[in-house]
């Protein structure tokens, strides 16, 4: 029988010699009396040894659970665990596996450090259809102190998604919300400047911009005060008004991107709008407000309801999940504006892998959006870790990464597109400017987007200079280069093919 929600995948309390011996051994890991007087695993790392990984490992057979989403839970306690250099480091209860189609996978609860008594750590994890070499890891990474672990449990959260239907024969054109051959452009700066939009529209010939309404990106526990949030949002909408008028003059369609929804994110990156009725209701209400404000505005291509949804744990009763919350907002918009295109994003940071469990929504005039930053070790090198010099194309981790490997990553999106005859918008993709071969990576990505008929926007334009195509490969040089970079030349060569929207 196929796995079903609640099925037990693995459980241990470390209470027998067999349970303990199944884990790898290390001098920094000991078995002690801990949680509820039973045996616990204790990992201690001195301050002078904080750098590096201090983990013990257990092989875990996930073959029967490929395609599922699992729930991983344990109890943990910490004493003086130092704050690590990145949120995903520190005290770690982690799942790791390999995938030939998606690359290596790691998942754990973020921001676990400091001193605290026994508490639950938990996270959800999608299991790739070709997951191999799976393991559970416990310990400390790039931090010192002492951490205890006990009562590990892994259960099935969601079964594998249903098989996609066969693509329809001779389907009509999919709804895409515009009449141009292709929309090609960029993510916006964080602030409005008319000159930026003039250059983008008239000199670069871009015909779309994804306008991000954002602040506090990546910071948990923010945007909780709704009165203060609304005051901030009103200011950003006033700024959007100016941007829309400029984009009308310069021939640029606009995607209105709710990058920072009310309630913000938790430490595990889940959005509050998928967990708390107060914030979900406010999320729906703000989209009603935006729909009334911009009804009939032809400069807007559509509304991007929420940026990069993450939902590790199930929504509580009575609260819609990541997809249901988007449907709620979409239907509220439809009651005001029957025509405006609406973008739906997948789970797992709107990644291609999130499309494996995405189902089409029953809302008219919808476009599905995906983001592409795979492999992250290449695209984000030097951002979340100090490791640099990872080149594309070439071997990264255990895989050789080239255009055909990128095609495999995007396959879940392509299958969704064909099965349901829908339009795909690639809302974000990039490679950090100092990544060796960044132009090759971007070129291969764009060729795939073009082959599949997807509209796309590069991340980002005149935002943080790490993603800027106007800056060179030296991370210490924060000035634009006098001559166009190979990345800028690549974008401009594609933008040259653009047709402009009618004003």
What's the whole-number mean pLDDT along residues 249-274?
94
For the segment 415-429, what is each residue's pLDDT rounded down to a tens digit? 999 999 999 999 999
H or E, element range at 43: strand 39-45
Give the C-alpha separation, 463 to 51, whole Å.
32
What pLDDT score was predicted for residue 171? 95
For the segment 338-349, what is each residue's pLDDT rounded down to a tens digit? 999 999 999 999
What's the whole-number mean pLDDT along residues 371-381?
96
Take residue 466 and report the two structure tokens written for it.
């790490």
CATH of domain 184-495: 3.20.20.80
Indicate the range of 69-83, 166-180, 217-231 predicted with least confidence: 217-231
Task: Share the mean pLDDT of the chain.
Answer: 95
Take residue 503 and report the two structure tokens written for it.
């004003």
H or E, element range at 118: strand 114-126
What pLDDT score was predicted for residue 2? 85
Residue 386 has pLDDT above 90, yes or no: no
Looking at residue 192, the DSSP 8-state letter turns out to be -
How would you classify the pairing of strands 366-372 and 342-345?
A: parallel
CB contact set of 422 (below 8 Å; sequence gap of 6+): 174, 175, 360, 366, 367, 368, 416
For the segment 472-494, what is each residue's pLDDT rounded down to a tens digit? 999 999 999 999 999 999 999 99
Looking up tokens 């935002």 gives 463
What's the whole-number mean pLDDT along residues 197-204?
98
Residue 218 has pLDDT above 80, yes or no: no
Decide: residue 16, CB within 10 A, 0-12 exposed, 13-18 middle, 19+ buried: exposed
**β-pair partners for 121:** 74
What pLDDT score was predicted for residue 103? 80
Cα 218 to Cα 202, 233, 280, 385, 483, distances in angstroms: 33, 18, 19, 16, 33
Q: Which CATH class is domain 8-158?
A: mainly beta
Percent of the chain with pLDDT over 70: 100
Give the C-alpha separation, 357 to 255, whole Å.
25
Residue 177 has pLDDT above 90, yes or no: yes
Percent of the chain with pLDDT over 90: 90
At residue 221 the predicted structure's pLDDT band, cuts being 50, 70 and 90, is: confident
Give the C-alpha separation, 221 to 286, whole Å.
20
Q: For residues 262 and 228, is the Cβ–Cβ distance under 8 A?
A: no
**What is the chain's Cα-based Rg?**
23
At residue 412 the predicted structure's pLDDT band, cuts being 50, 70 and 90, is: very high
Looking at residue 35, the DSSP 8-state letter turns out to be G
What's the whole-number mean pLDDT along residues 312-332?
95
Looking at residue 260, the DSSP 8-state letter turns out to be S
Give the C-alpha separation, 237 to 340, whole Å.
17
At residue 159 the predicted structure's pLDDT band, cuts being 50, 70 and 90, is: very high
* 139 torsion bin: left (phi>0), alpha (psi -120 to 50), beta (else): left
What's the whole-number mean pLDDT along residues 15-40?
94
Same fold? 8-158, 184-495:
no
Instruction: Please give the model's pTM, rounded to 2 decimal places.
Output: 0.90
User: HEC states along 312-328?
Assistant: CCCCCCCCCCHHHHHHH
H or E, element range at 244: helix 226-250
Domain boundaries of the chain, sorted by first residue: 8-158, 184-495
Looking up tokens 């390999």 gives 98
What pLDDT score was predicted for residue 305? 98
For the segment 269-298, what is each residue's pLDDT rounded down to a tens digit? 899 999 999 999 999 999 999 999 999 999
Q: For residues 115 and 82, is the Cβ–Cβ distance under 8 A?
A: no
CB contact set of 110 (below 8 Å; sequence gap of 6+): 87, 88, 220, 267, 268, 269
Between these two residues, 163 and 436, which has the higher pLDDT value? Answer: 436
User: HEC states along 329-362?
Assistant: HHHHHHHHCCCCCEEEECHHHHCCHHHHCCCCCC
For the segment 87-118, what is each residue's pLDDT rounded down to a tens digit? 889 999 999 999 988 788 999 998 899 999 99
Q: For the chain, what is the total number of helices (H) and then of strands (E)?
A: 10, 20
Looking at residue 77, the DSSP 8-state letter turns out to be E
Give the C-alpha separation, 467 to 432, whole Å.
5
């Amino acid at each position: 029988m196929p796995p079903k929600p609640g099925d037990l995948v693995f459980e241990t309390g470390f209470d027998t010699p067999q349970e303990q011996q199944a884990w790898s051994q290390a001098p920094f890991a000991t078995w002690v009396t801990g949680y509820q007087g039973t045996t616990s695993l204790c990992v201690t790392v001195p301050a002078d040894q904080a750098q590096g990984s201090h983990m013990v490992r257990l092989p875990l057979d996930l073959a029967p659970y490929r395609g599922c989403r699992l729930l991983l839970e344990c109890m943990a306690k910490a004493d003086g665990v130092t704050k690590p250099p990145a949120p995903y480091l520190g005290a770690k209860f982690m799942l790791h596996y390999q995938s030939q189609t998606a690359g290596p996978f790691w998942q754990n609860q973020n921001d676990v450090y400091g001193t605290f008594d026994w508490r639950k750590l938990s996270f959800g994890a999608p299991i790739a259809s070709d997951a191999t070499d799976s393991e559970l890891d416990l310990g400390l990474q790039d931090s010192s102190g002492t951490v205890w672990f006990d009562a590990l449990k892994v259960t099935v959260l969601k079964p594998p998604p249903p098989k996609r239907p066969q693509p329809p024969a001779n389907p009509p054109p999919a709804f895409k919300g515009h009449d141009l051959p292709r929309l090609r452009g960029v993510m916006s700066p964080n602030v409005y400047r008319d000159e930026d939009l003039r250059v983008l529209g008239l000199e670069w010939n871009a015909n779309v911009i994804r306008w991000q309404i954002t602040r506090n990106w990546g910071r948990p526990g923010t945007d909780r005060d709704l009165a203060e949030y609304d005051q901030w949002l009103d200011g950003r909408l006033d700024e959007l008004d100016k941007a829309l008028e400029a984009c009308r003059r310069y021939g640029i369609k606009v995607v209105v991107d709710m990058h920072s929804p009310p309630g913000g994110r938790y430490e595990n990156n889940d959005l509050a709008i998928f967990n708390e009725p107060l914030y979900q209701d406010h999320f729906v209400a703000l989209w009603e407000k935006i729909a009334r404000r911009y009804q009939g505005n032809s400069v807007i291509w559509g509304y991007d309801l929420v940026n990069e949804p993450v939902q590790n744990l199930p929504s509580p009763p009575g609260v819609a999940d990541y997809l249901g919350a988007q449907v709620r907002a979409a239907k509220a918009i439809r009651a005001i504006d029957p025509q405006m295109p609406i973008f739906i994003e997948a789970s797992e940071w709107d990644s291609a892998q999130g499309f494996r469990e995405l189902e089409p929504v029953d809302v008219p005039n919808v476009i599905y959006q995906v983001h592409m930053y795979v492999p992250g070790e290449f695209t984000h090198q030097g951002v979340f870790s100090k490791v640099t010099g990872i080149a594309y194309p070439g071997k990264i981790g255990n895989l050789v990464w080239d255009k055909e490997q990128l095609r495999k990553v995007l396959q879940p999106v392509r299958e969704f597109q064909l099965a349901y005859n829908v339009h795909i918008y690639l809302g974000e993709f990039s490679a950090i400017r100092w990544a060796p071969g960044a132009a090759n990576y971007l070129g291969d990505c764009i060729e795939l987007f073009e082959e599949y008929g997807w509209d796309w926007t590069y991340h980002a334009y005149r935002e943080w200079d790490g993603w800027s195509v106007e800056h060179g490969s030296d991370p210490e040089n924060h000035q634009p280069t006098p001559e166009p970079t190979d990345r800028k030349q690549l974008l401009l060569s594609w933008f040259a093919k653009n047709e402009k929207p009618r004003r």
